[in-house]
Amino acid sequence: MSVNVGDLDAIAVDARQRIGAASDEAALEQVRVELLGKKGALTGALRGLGSLPADQRAAAGARANALKGEIETMLASRARELQAARLQTLGDQEWIDMTFVPSPVRRGHLHPLTLILREVKAIFSRLGYEVALGPQVEDEFHNFEALNIPQEHPARDTMDSFYVDADHLLLRTHTSPVQIRYMLSHEPPIRIIAPGAVYRRDATDPSHASQFYQVEGLVVDRDIRLSDLKGTIEYFARSLFGPDRRIRIVGDHFPFTEPSIAAAVSCGICGGAGCRSCKGGWLEILGAGMVHPQVLRNGGVDPDHYSGFAFGAGLDRLAMLKYNVTDLRLFLENDVRFLKQF
Ligand SMILES: [Zn+2]
């Protein structure tokens, strides 16, 4: 194959056009191979120089080498353009704005009843209590009879029930049946709290609802006395409502405890002087007493060897007193404007 200066000029024109037309770095590399590769156009021309007459060979060789330099310069220049264009496109399509501030993730709020339950659990866990749970659908034995509330007992009137079927199954009216279930399945010493939902056919008003929450407590061991119960109530009330609160304990009556008491804390709003929120300066927080010997027996515990105390508090009521909520129904409505205050 012979080569002349005209061929080199044609290669130069072709090279300039194809390098300029390469649309990306891969296409440009293809052009480079076709021009300067082993089988490239210019490589072939350089190889053909040897067949030229001696007088033309030097000039053609110089021109070919100069053309090779020009092509390499053009390739390098076009490569820079294509790389810059690629990075520009990448930047436009995949940019990350490191100064961008996302809108804050809005986290939910714990329900005030959840908060109060957690606090009650924490207080009693410090005293060594365990949490026990029982079914919300109960039978009459555990809900009433084992707790000294036989049929026709006047206490059943104050706990009007939702019956589930004719087989004497009902929605439990209090958490006290957990006492019976726990005593029947565990040996003393027993030290539990039993929180959960309870149900009564009450007309709904600011302090009543057909579903509300209680927390039950039960301690059974040798030589448990009323003074142990009083100390426990004082520790609980001051832990929950603050060390400045005074505690008042008065006699009460429940079928399942003997003697029975009711505990109140001094009002946090008026300090005990009496105001619209309290009854003469006191806020009742729970009912309690020494477990009736027959209830111990019903739970399989011998009252000649063991004694115990029990208490029951409304979690809703504790939350109302702690957070100054005046209407129980707010706990059930799940209005975010109410819940987000806690
Ligand atoms: Zn008050």
Q: Domain of 276: which CATH number?
A: 3.30.930.10
Q: How far is the CA of 249 from the centre of ligand 1 (A)?
A: 17
Does 107 fall in a domain?
no
Q: Model confidence over 289-339: pLDDT tens digits?
A: 999 999 999 999 999 999 999 999 999 999 988 888 888 889 988 888 898
Asked if 2 contacts 48 with a C-beta cutoff of 8 angstroms, the reply is yes
Question: What is the rounded CA–CA span in Å between residue 183 and residue 293?
Answer: 13
pLDDT band for position 5 (cuts 50, 70, 90):
low
Distance 77 CA to ligand 1 centre (A): 88
Question: Residue 242 C-alpha to ligand 1 middle, in angstroms?
Answer: 15
Going from the Cα of 247 to the center of ligand 1, the distance in angstroms, rounded, reads 14
Residue 255 inside a domain? The answer is yes
Last residue of a domain, one of 68, 94, 120: 94
Which ranges in 22-173 belong to alpha helices (H)? 25-36, 41-48, 54-94, 112-126, 140-143, 154-158
User: Could you report the per-residue pLDDT of 204-246, keeping only the tens digit for each?
Assistant: 888 788 899 999 999 999 999 999 999 999 999 999 999 988 8
Please identify which residue in the block is written with the tokens 């007088």: 55
70 & 149 share domain: no
Q: Are residues 204 and 326 in the same domain?
A: yes
228 alpha carbon – ligand 1 mean position (Å): 28
- Do 165 and 310 lie in one domain? The reply is yes
- The verdict on residue 302 lying in a domain is yes
pTM equals: 0.68
Coil, strand, or helix at residue 212? strand
Asked if pLDDT for residue 1 goes beyond 50, the answer is no
In a domain, 104, yes or no: no
Shared-domain flag, residues 40 and 81: yes
Cα(317) to ligand 1 centroid in Å equals: 15
Number of domains in the chain: 2
pLDDT tier at 2 (50, 70, 90 boundaries)?
Answer: low
Domain carrying residue 206: 112-339
C-alpha of residue 244 to centroid of ligand 1, in Å: 14
Residue 20: name the closest of 90, 65, 82 by CA. Answer: 82
Pairwise CA distance, residues 71 & 15, whole Å: 7
Query: Residue 29: is its pLDDT beyond 80?
Result: yes
- Tell me, in angstroms, the distance from the centre of ligand 1 to residue 283's CA: 8
125 and 84 part of one domain: no
Based on the fold, state whether residues 75 and 129 are members of the same structural domain: no
Last residue of a domain, one of 94, 124, 153: 94
Quote the pLDDT of residue 4.
63
Cα–Cα distance measured from residue 47 to residue 9, given in angstroms and rounded to the nearest whole number: 16
